[in-house]
Amino acid sequence: MSPGHPATLSSESRWLRRVLYRVQQFLASLRPRVSAEEQAAVAAILPAAALALFDRMARRDQRHSLEVLRRVQQAAPGQPDLAAAALLHDAAKTALPGRRLRLWHRVLIVLMQAARPGWVQQAGRDDPGSWRYPFYLHAHHPELGARLAEEAGCSPLTARLIRHHQMKLSHPPRDEFEHLLALLQAADDAS
Domain extent at residue 133: 34-190
41-46 long-range contacts, CB within 8 A, separation 24+: 41/69, 42/66, 42/69, 42/87, 45/69, 45/80, 45/83, 45/84, 45/87, 46/84, 46/87, 46/88, 46/152, 46/154
Predicted pLDDT at 1: 47
CA 190 to chain centre: 10
Predicted confidence band of residue 97 (pLDDT cuts 50, 70, 90):
low
Predicted pLDDT at 28: 63
The DSSP string of 137-188 is HHHHHHHHHHHHHHHTT--HHHHHHHHHTTS--SSS--SHHHHHHHHHHHHH
* Rounded Cα gap, residues 191 and 188, in angstroms: 5
Q: pLDDT of 10-44, one tens digit each?
A: 777 777 787 777 777 666 666 778 899 999 999 99
| pLDDT above 80: residue 91 | yes
Predicted pLDDT at 104: 72
Predicted pLDDT at 89: 97
119 and 133 together in one domain: yes
Predicted pLDDT at 116: 81
Number of Cβ atoms within 10 Å of the Cβ of 152: 22
Q: pLDDT of 57-81, one tens digit each?
A: 989 899 999 999 999 999 999 999 9
39 and 131 together in one domain: yes
Predicted confidence band of residue 167 (pLDDT cuts 50, 70, 90):
very high
23 and 62 together in one domain: no
Predicted pLDDT at 9: 59
Q: Which residue in 50, 12, 28, 58 sits closest to 191, CA to CA?
A: 28
Number of domains in the chain: 2
The single-letter code of the amino acid at 138 is H
Predicted pLDDT at 96: 74
The SS3 call for residue 127 is coil
Average pLDDT over residues 154-172: 96
Q: What is the CATH classification number for the domain harbouring 145?
A: 1.10.3210
7 and 59 together in one domain: no
* Rounded Cα gap, residues 86 and 18, in angstroms: 22
Q: pLDDT of 98-137, one tens digit each?
A: 677 777 777 777 787 787 888 777 887 788 888 888 888 8
Q: Are 61 and 53 in contact (CB under 8 A)?
A: no
Number of Cβ atoms within 10 Å of the Cβ of 59: 13
83 and 17 together in one domain: no
Predicted confidence band of residue 143 (pLDDT cuts 50, 70, 90):
very high
